[in-house]
Structure 1
Amino acid sequence: MSFSKHGVIAAGFRAIAASRAESWLAPLARGIGAILMFHHVRPARADPFQPNRLLEITPEHLDLTLRLARELGWEIVPLDEVPERLARRKGRFLALTFDDGYRDNRDHALPVLRRHGVPWTMFVTTDYASGRGSLWWLELEEAIRASGRVSLQGRDYAAGTPAEKEAAFRALYARLRAGPEPELRAATASLCDRAGFDRAGLAGRLCLSWDELRTLSAADPALTIGAHTLSHPMLAKGDEAAACREIAASRTEIAERLGRPVRHLAYPVGDPASAGPREFALAREAGYATAVTTRPGHLFPEHAAHLAALPRVSVNGLFQTEAAMRALLSGVPFLLWNRGRRLNVA
């Protein structure tokens, strides 16, 4: 997401708040439910260079989100209940989902979730739980953080100041995301090597291990464990056999390691370039009850026929305000962003 787009979104939240559109447009825009998406939950950091800060919120903002949801009449339910709620058109409900299996979810989100007594789902990438794999967007951040200048494919980027580092990250991220994933991963690995950053231990430092997941799963009956593939690829960029293995084998491995059924899938990255009709069909064939994307939107009764292509509402670290959350829960931003469409499942 570009900084110009962030500015447009911020302006949109301000306009919605100023016009009180979250009140008068909500009956038209709001769905019967929504699935909230989180990544990191941890205390705010002072580092001026945080290009992935949209992927983290503070425990205080999580608390605000849950308090506001209750105030506005939303019931927080397990992801297991979503299919039945959609089929019965039974609202107004929220499901809480956390991607990647970060340790800070246990350390900083869980106390808030327990205080509110709410169910939640963690989507686990099996490679990360095994202490391996590539969190390439974070590797890119760390390579730039450790460098005064970065070079890729004949192009140089200044990276001496925080502003230069932000600009370098935006440019490199856009270039790499647009290309083949093997090239993306090779490029971030090369940048890390040149910067002297040890990428090999990043997953182990940030993500819960299998032992930690077993302990957490046994101790918290409110937690549902879902699959987030084996290696966190952009599935639609690979061949069908690889996508099938990532989707099906991750379900089997998590179930075997944790001794719990795995009924839900989150597509890595989850935008239309990463998960489309082929992946939706593979998720259904693998036996998942639901599969969630990152396509933005609320849930409507029509989604009962598209349980492998459910949208989510990203709780974005760049917009940690009550006004932003009121707008997101009203559905008004999605009425505008989706041009009035309720479904985006193609």
Structure 2
Amino acid sequence: MPSWRHHLFATGFSAISATRADIWLRPLARGAGVILMFHHVRPWHEKPFTPNRFLEITPEFLAKTVATLRKDGFEIISLDEVPDRLRSTRSHPPFAVLTFDDGYRDNIEYGWPILKRLKAPWTMFVVNDFASGHGRLWWLELEMAIAQLDHIEVTLHEERLVLTTGTTAQKSEAFGLLRRRLKAGPEEHLLAVIGDLSRQIDLDPDSLVKKLCASWDEVRLLARDPDVTIGSHTLSHPILARHDAKFSAAEISRSKLLIESQLGRRVRHIAYPHGDPSSAGEREFGLAQQSGYEAAVTTRPGHIFTRHLAHPTALPRVSINGLHQNEAALRALLSGVPFMALDLVKHRSLSA
């Protein structure tokens, strides 16, 4: 069930399309390029309770995204090329970079053939633990537990919560509440609470990872394609800002070294797990630079401008949201207008 935020975004995209602001404001709003963020690519199967639907698009919409990019004048390039493109004094068309987080097998099964046919380079960010067949896809564990349980009892920071989850609406409300409250606290507590819910439905987290994420053998096969870049997504996909500097440094630096040893090729880029300001900040940006990454991407929304050359380990991305798989939303995002509006709102709030 879409949240009020997604309804608000949908209304905004429709308004931008109706006023043609994506066309007449584009010269002011669009940057030198855009880095797009994807997660799952797979056929959609309708289910009543799908709180993580925003993380997946269909193969057909991936192909439409590539076609729309090219129709709108974007040049699809690899992430490797971004620093040089920003440094260039020559005139270039706007660029687009396609990035896929978490290393899901469906990226290879459904996304790769489409991107290969369309001759579109792309980047997969790999989590070492997931490629090794273990780890915690906790947001999916939480979804699966709530989907199966009609009643949940959890302790959140010494507060006992009793939640009825019999209807789809109740399940959606419980998922939003637990995700928000757990993600705001220590990650150890988040993993423990969701781990307990997983045991109640006999869900083995490692089995879920093995089912959904590509193995090292599959990643090595993918890495042979010259149009595919493999980047790091850390060792275990933690909320880095919730941990001390030593832990976060190891997650960032060791992941690079271990992927390089697995693939026999250099790893130049990293995507911060979750990637929002509460999950990765200045400390993480500095650690990525110290570890030798040339570029690092966040989930902070926005286009890429030449000013980002001074902050290559803090690049924004534009999420292609599975709840907005339509041309109006896509063209609005590619125009940069929604992010210009967000910047204006932030500026006004700071000036008030």
Q: Which TM bucket (shorter chain)?
A: over 0.9
Match of 2:350 in 1: none
Per-residue CA distance 1:196-219 (angstroms, 9 max, x = gap): 22223111110000111112212x
Aligned pair partner of 2:182 in 159, 176, 179: 176
1:9 paired to 2:9: yes
Match of 2:342 in 1: 337
Match of 2:149 in 1: 147
1:304 paired to 2:309: yes
Counterparts of 2:345 and 2:171, CA distance in 1: 37
Q: Which range moves more in the overlay, 130-139 or 156-165?
A: 156-165
Counterparts of 1:168 and 1:297, CA distance in 2: 30
Match of 1:122 in 2: 124
The 3 A distance-change label for structure 1 pair 340 and 310 is farther
Residue 215 of structure 2 aligns with an amino acid whose one-letter code is S
Counterparts of 2:84 and 2:345, CA distance in 1: 25
Q: CA deviation at 1:151?
A: 1.4
1:30 paired to 2:33: no
1:107 paired to 2:109: yes
Retained in 1: the 8 A contact 2:2–2:323? no
Match of 1:207 in 2: 213
Match of 1:59 in 2: 59
Structure 1: runs of 5 or more not aligned: none
Residue 212 of structure 2 aligns with an amino acid whose one-letter code is L
SS in 2 for 1:275: coil
Q: CA deviation at 1:152?
A: 1.0
Alignment of 1:263-278 (within 5 A): 263-278=268-283
Counterparts of 2:130 and 2:201, CA distance in 1: 22
Q: CA deviation at 1:340?
A: 7.3
Residue 67 of structure 1 aligns with an amino acid whose one-letter code is A
Q: Which range moves more in the overlay, 282-291 or 90-99?
A: 90-99
SS in 2 for 1:137: helix
SS in 2 for 1:36: strand
Match of 2:162 in 1: 156
Counterparts of 2:205 and 2:250, CA distance in 1: 25
Aligned pair partner of 2:238 in 219, 225, 233: 233
Aligned pair partner of 1:185 in 188, 191, 209: 191
Aligned pair partner of 1:137 in 139, 142, 153: 139
Counterparts of 2:261 and 2:204, CA distance in 1: 31
Counterparts of 1:68 and 1:340, CA distance in 2: 28
**What is the TM-score with the length of structure 1 in the denominator?**
0.96
Counterparts of 1:158 and 1:10, CA distance in 2: 29
Per-residue CA distance 1:237-287 (angstroms, 9 max, x = gap): 100000000000000000001111100000000000111000000000000
Alignment of 1:249-260 (within 5 A): 249-260=254-265
Retained in 2: the 8 A contact 1:54–1:318? yes
Match of 1:41 in 2: 41
SS in 1 for 2:344: coil
Structure 2: runs of 5 or more not aligned: 348-352
Q: Which range moves more in the overlay, 331-340 or 46-55?
A: 331-340
Q: CA deviation at 1:327?
A: 0.2
Q: CA deviation at 1:341?
A: 7.8
Match of 2:80 in 1: 80
Counterparts of 2:239 and 2:203, CA distance in 1: 24
Find runs of 4+ consecutive structure 1 residues off by over 4 angstroms.
Answer: none
Residue 38 of structure 1 aligns with an amino acid whose one-letter code is F
Counterparts of 1:185 and 1:38, CA distance in 2: 24
The 3 A distance-change label for structure 1 pair 103 and 35 is same
**What is the TM-score with the length of structure 2 in the denominator?**
0.94
SS in 1 for 2:149: coil
Residue 26 of structure 1 aligns with an amino acid whose one-letter code is R
Counterparts of 2:343 and 2:57, CA distance in 1: 25
Residue 81 of structure 1 aligns with an amino acid whose one-letter code is E
Match of 2:69 in 1: 69
Per-residue CA distance 1:140-164 (angstroms, 9 max, x = gap): 0111112111111121112122222
Q: CA deviation at 1:91?
A: 4.0
- Provide the aligned C-alpha RMSD in A: 1.5
SS in 2 for 1:152: strand
Per-residue CA distance 1:218-250 (angstroms, 9 max, x = gap): 2x2211000000000111110000000000000
Counterparts of 1:132 and 1:148, CA distance in 2: 28
Match of 1:284 in 2: 289
